[in-house]
């Protein structure tokens, strides 16, 4: 689930080359499976072609207090990338309450299910699988442990099951599986051993070559270590070393998962906050050799919210699932492993993991089970919706990259929102981290040139994350708000542009608005400036820009008129043609709103405030409308419906000719929707090419809607999902220069970056 404030509301704390193919990204999803509730971490048994999915609770997102006590059993022979004819749950295995993960012992065909309520259920996989279900009605045994069990790993050499427990104090539970399995349960009631790990183990895996157990520690908040445990001295039959505090190796922030590639003796650790995978050399950092543990291991950069990793040795690939990008990165284990890390420096290829559209949409996948024999993976959102996505690994891996994304070129500019002045080919971008607005020369930073994207000057602001807004071409004024200081600046861009930056540091007149002002939007016909603001984001300030500009600042001390609108109005748009303001309400909680307020600018502008207390109409759109843009040439309003990422993103298409401040007959009509990427935020329109660009925050892409075939009067093109250009992680701001046919997407993740690509011509 996506919780986000963008430029038009409260300040944001940021959390993330080839040439562009300018083609749609290709999803590697081939099918989906409806399951019995919110999933845990699944596991697959290739020998029986069976997928086991723990079910945490009987609803999606565990919205109720009820818990589940089953594991869904799914056959993969006819539910894989090559054959999705029978993707269904064939049986349900009875286990303990709140099953969170499962571990497989191949030799005895035993499924160990780790339950959040502190028990491990022992399931007979030989009699509970895709073909034989007679043993699914009950567990063979229950191992009582206590604590909050989250994941397990099995060492076949020592016949030991290691289980990570997050609470109440944090430890690794050690179980003698030789005496507790599907063939014998005599030891299932025996006391278990424990290894104290107060750093908060969240995942665990075993390197059988060195008999070392690696536990990824998330800590009480954001951990950054992996515990290195001597399995030879602490296993099912030997407990001499269980009381010894294990050494640790420092990895990235919030390590969610650890996976050992037995073929290369390498430990791969998914660092959620960093969007990286740490690569630990198991030969130099293990139970008996700790010299390599003292040095922070190298990382491979993957994507936003890297949550899970697993190795497929037949493809020489470690797959890393990036939850907040919906991408699956393919790390080449031949060149990025413990003994050879040169290949880790280059970002690995990645595929769009799941479909952006129904049917089969899975929001925020964060774990998967591999079935290498079919080049398949089964993706779930642990704790999320009741669905499994079936994806192919054959077309985007370390060997084959035909289905991998081709991202637009990217430069390391850390900016937030941007506006473009085509007359001077200048880009003005509010810095993500610095109290200024970056001034960038579009002649050296466009679709054909990327070497000159560094700012040539900075415009001082009181705080970072300036909400850059409209440009008045007549007064040569850039309006930008500072969400922390409650002001809007009127910046003189005659003296601050790509050709002349001498006046960039000059003091700009400011207007006091109120808390958290968003991006100012100008109606050039009436010289009226509209700024969304407020602690609840439900106010719009109305300013006479004729007397508050770079040319005339005499009226910058005016008290703005106010319009009350829906909660969390983050972005607004103006139609100069109909003199109308459109204000979407995201709602509170985020994405609970579904309306756009329509305001008559003829009676609520910079000089006439008589109608500011009235809303002309309210339009119903999709859930969580964030961005809005108007194309006056086609009388069309486009609204991006975010849906919080839990459902597919859409853009609503409203007829501005029949739904405006003075004519509201069309406001209650059915409004077409076009399917786009995940968690859409902001829009920009290129009127020359009649293209609408939308940043898709949770799919690291920019959707491109053809306005010529998807507008207020022609909707044939709205029936087809928009194509999506791959960009950097978590794109937020979007700007277009129609004169150079260049699109700029401002990505928030990893300190910020700027993706640049050619628009539709």
Find out whether 384 and 38 touch, Cβ atoms under 8 Å. yes
Bridge partners of 436? 460
**What confidence category does residue 24 fall into, taking pLDDT thresholds of 50, 70 and 90?**
low
pLDDT in tens, 180-215: 999 999 999 999 999 999 999 999 999 999 999 999
Per-residue model confidence (pLDDT) at position 26: 86
Q: What is the DSSP string of 205-262?
A: EEETTTTEEEEEE-TTTT--EEEEEETTTSSSS--TTTTSPPPEEE-SSSEEEEEEET
The CA distance from 679 to 699, in Å, is 8
Taking every pair of Cα atoms in the chain, the longest distance, rounded to a whole number of angstroms, is 88
pLDDT tops 50 at residue 12: no
The CA distance from 579 to 379, in Å, is 48
- Phi-psi sector, 150: left (phi>0), alpha (psi -120 to 50), beta: alpha
pLDDT tops 90 at residue 69: yes
pLDDT in tens, 529-585: 999 999 999 999 999 999 999 999 999 999 999 999 999 999 999 999 999 999 999
Per-residue model confidence (pLDDT) at position 25: 79
Q: Compute the average pLDDT of residues 591-609.
A: 97
pLDDT tops 70 at residue 152: yes
CB burial of residue 12 (10 Å; 0-12, 13-18, 19+): middle
pLDDT in tens, 109-133: 999 999 999 999 999 999 999 999 9
Instruction: Enter the pTM of the model.
Output: 0.95
What is the set of domains in the chain, with CATH numbers?
A: 29-392 (2.130.10.10), 410-416+463-758 (2.130.10.10)
The CA distance from 7 to 533, in Å, is 10
- Percentages helix, strand, coil for the chain (3-state, rounded to 5) are 5, 40, 55
pLDDT in tens, 325-380: 999 999 999 999 999 999 999 999 999 999 999 989 999 999 999 999 999 999 99
Tokens at 185, concatenated: 């349960």
pLDDT in tens, 661-690: 999 999 999 999 999 999 999 999 999 999
pLDDT in tens, 127-138: 999 999 999 999
Length of the chain counted residue by residue: 761
Tokens at 456, concatenated: 């040539």
Q: Write the CB contacts of 515 (distance below 8 Å, at least 6 apart in sequence).
A: 486, 533, 534, 535
Neighbours of 472 (CB within 10 A): 20
Question: What's the half-sphere exposure (Cβ side, CA atoms, 13 Å) at 725?
Answer: 27
Question: What's the half-sphere exposure (Cβ side, CA atoms, 13 Å) at 506?
Answer: 16
The CA distance from 645 to 268, in Å, is 28
The CA distance from 578 to 732, in Å, is 28
Residue with tokens 């780790």: 114
**What confidence category does residue 19 fall into, taking pLDDT thresholds of 50, 70 and 90?**
very low
Give the Cα-Cα-Cα angle 196, 202, 204 (nearest 5 degrees).
80
Going by DSSP bridges, is the β-strand pair 691-696/701-706 parallel, antiparallel, or unpaired? antiparallel
Tokens at 701, concatenated: 């892409």
Q: What are the start-end ranges of the E strands in 474-624?
A: 477-482, 487-492, 510-512, 521-523, 528-533, 539-544, 561-564, 573-575, 580-585, 595-600, 617-620
């Amino acid at each position: 689930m996506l919780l986000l404030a963008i430029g038009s509301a409260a300040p944001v704390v940021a959390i993330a080359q080839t040439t562009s193919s300018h083609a749609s990204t290709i999803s590697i999803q081939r099918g989906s499976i409806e399951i019995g509730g919110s999933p845990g971490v699944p596991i697959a048994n290739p020998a029986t072609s069976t997928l086991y999915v723990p079910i945490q609770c009987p609803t999606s997102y565990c919205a109720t207090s009820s818990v589940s006590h089953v594991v869904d059993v799914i056959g993969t022979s006819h539910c894989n990338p090559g054959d999705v004819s029978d993707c269904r749950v064939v049986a349900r295995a009875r286990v303990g309450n709140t099953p969170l993960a499962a571990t497989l012992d191949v030799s005895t065909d035993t499924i160990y299910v780790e339950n959040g309520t502190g028990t491990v259920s022992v399931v007979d996989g030989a009699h509970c699988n895709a073909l034989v279900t007679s043993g699914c009605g009950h567990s063979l045994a229950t191992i009582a442990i206590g604590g909050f069990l989250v994941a397990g790993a099995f060492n076949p050499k020592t016949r030991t099951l290691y289980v990570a427990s997050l609470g109440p104090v944090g430890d690794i539970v050690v179980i003698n599986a030789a005496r507790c399995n599907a063939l014998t349960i005599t030891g299932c009631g025996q006391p278990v051993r424990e290894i104290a790990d107060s750093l908060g183990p969240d995942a665990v895996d075993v390197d059988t070559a060195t008999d070392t157990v690696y536990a990824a520690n998330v800590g009480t908040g954001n951990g950054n270590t992996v515990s290195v445990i001597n399995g030879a001295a602490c296993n099912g039959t030997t407990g001499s070393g269980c009381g010894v505090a294990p050494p640790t190796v420092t990895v990235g922030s919030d390590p969610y998962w650890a996976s050992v590639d037995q073929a290369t003796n390498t430990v791969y650790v998914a660092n959620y906050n960093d969007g990286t995978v740490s690569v630990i050399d198991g030969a130099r950092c293990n139970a008996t050799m700790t010299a390599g543990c003292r040095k922070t291991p190298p990382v491979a950069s993957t994507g936003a919210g890297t949550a899970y990793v697993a190795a497929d040795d037949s493809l020489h690939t470690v797959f890393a699932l990036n939850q907040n990008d919906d991408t699956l990165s393919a790390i080449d284990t031949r060149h990025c492993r413990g003994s050879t890390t040169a290949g880790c420096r280059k970002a690995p290829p990645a595929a769009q993991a799941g479909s952006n559209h129904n049917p089969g949409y899975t929001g925020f996948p964060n774990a998967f089970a591999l079935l290498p024999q079919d080049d398949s993976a089964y993706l779930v959102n642990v704790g999320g919706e009741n669905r499994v996505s079936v994806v192919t690994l054959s077309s985007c891996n370390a060997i084959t990259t035909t289905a991998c994304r081709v991202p637009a070129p990217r430069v390391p500019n850390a900016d937030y929102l941007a506006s473009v002045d085509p007359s001077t080919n200048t880009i003005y971008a509010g810095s993500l981290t610095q109290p200024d607005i970056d001034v960038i020369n579009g002649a050296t930073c466009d679709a054909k040139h990327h070497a000159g994207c560094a700012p040539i000057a900075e415009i001082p602001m009181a705080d970072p994350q300036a909400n850059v807004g409209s440009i008045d071409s007549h007064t040569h004024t850039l309006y930008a708000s500072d969400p922390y200081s409650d002001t809007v600046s009127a910046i003189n861009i005659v003296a601050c542009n790509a050709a002349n930056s001498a006046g960039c540091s000059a003091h700009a007149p400011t207007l006091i608005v109120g808390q958290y002002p968003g991006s100012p939007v100008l109606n050039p016909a009436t010289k009226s400036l509209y700024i969304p603001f407020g602690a609840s984001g439900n106010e719009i300030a109305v300013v006479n820009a004729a007397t508050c500009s770079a040319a005339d600042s005499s009226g910058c001390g005016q008290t703005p008129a106010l319009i009350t609108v829906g909660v969390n109005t983050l972005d607004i748009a103006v139609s100069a043609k109909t003199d109308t303001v459109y204000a979407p309400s995201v709602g509170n909680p985020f994405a609970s709103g579904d309306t756009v307020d329509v305001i008559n600018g003829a009676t609520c502008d910079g000089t006439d405030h008589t109608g500011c207390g009235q809303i002309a109409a309210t339009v119903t759109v999709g859930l969580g409308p964030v961005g809005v843009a108007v194309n006056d040439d086609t009388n069309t309003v486009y609204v991006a419906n975010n849906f919080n990422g839990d459902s597919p993103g859409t853009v609503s298409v409203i007829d501005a000719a029949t739904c405006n401040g003075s004519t509201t007959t069309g406001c209650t009509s059915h409004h077409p929707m076009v399917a786009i990427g995940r968690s859409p935020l902001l829009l920009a329109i290129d009127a020359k090419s009649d293209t609408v660009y939308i940043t898709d925050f949770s799919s690291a892409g920019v959707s491109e809607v053809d306005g010529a075939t998807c507008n207020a009067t022609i909707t044939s093109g709205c029936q087809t999902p928009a194509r999506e250009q791959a960009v950097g992680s978590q794109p937020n701001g979007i700007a277009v220069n129609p004169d150079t046919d260049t699109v700029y997407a401002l990505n928030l993740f990893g300190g910020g970056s700027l993706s640049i690509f050619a628009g539709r011509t």
